[in-house]
Amino acid sequence: MSIDEDTAAKVAKLARIQVESQDLVGLAKEFNDILGFIEQLNEVDVEGIEPMTSVTPQKLIRRSDNITDGDKQTSVLKNAPLSREGFYAVPKVVE
């Protein structure tokens, strides 16, 4: 599997990371180096092996469905880059 510039651009878009067009060649090369390394996994016989979801056999614990926290608007907004009237503020999303 070889990654070209178009694929690199598509991946950058999916990851929501702006990449300048002149940097796409280098990026595609790095991807290919890493993916070339990963390709070794194709040598392994994984027939009948389930993909691992958890290293410990324990089941995920469910907490009871109660409200245990809240009323922390100031605290929640404290680190926001931009907030207004108790909300996070972002550029206009809907025209």
Partner 1 sequence: MANLNSLTISEARDKLKSKEISSLELTNSCLSAIDEADALGAFVHKTPELAIEQAKRADEWLKKENAPDLCGIPLGIKDLFCTKGVESQAASRILENFKPEYESTVSQNLLNNGTVMLGKLNMDEFAMGSSNETSIYGNAINPWKIDDRGLTPGGSSGGSATAVAADLCLAATGTDTGGSIRQPAAFTGIVGVKPTYGRCSRWGVIAFASSLDQAGPMTKTVRDGAIMLEAMAGNDPKDSTSANIEVPKFEAMLNGDIKGKRIGIPKEYRLDGMPSEIEKLWSDGTEMLRQAGAKIENISLPHTKYALPAYYVIAPAEASSNLARYDGVRYGRRAALSSGDGINEMYEKTRAEGFGPEVKRRVMIGTYVLSAGFYDAYYNRARRVRALIKKDFDEVFADGIDAILTPTTPSAAFGLGEMSDADPVQMYLNDVFTVTVNLAGLPGVSIPAGVDKAGLPLGLQVIGRPWEEGDMLNIAYSLEQSAGLSAKPSKWW
Kindly list the residues in this chain that would bind partner 1 in the complex (CB under 8 A): 3, 7-8, 11-12, 14-19, 27, 30-31, 33-35, 37-44, 46, 49-56, 58, 60-61, 63, 72, 75-76, 78-82, 88, 90-93
Do 88 and 82 form a contact (C-beta atoms < 8 A)? yes
Residue 29 beta carbon to partner 1: minimum distance, rounded to whole angstroms: 9
Residue 63 beta carbon to partner 1: minimum distance, rounded to whole angstroms: 6
> 3-state class of 22 per DSSP?
helix
Residue 27: count other Cβ atoms within 10 Å of its Cβ.
19
Shorter beta-carbon distance to partner 1: residue 5 or 19: 19
Say how far apart CA 89 and CA 91 lie, in whole Å: 7
Residue 65 beta carbon to partner 1: minimum distance, rounded to whole angstroms: 14
Say how far apart CA 18 and CA 55 lie, in whole Å: 35
Residue 7 beta carbon to partner 1: minimum distance, rounded to whole angstroms: 8
CA 44-45-47 angle, to 5 degrees, is 145
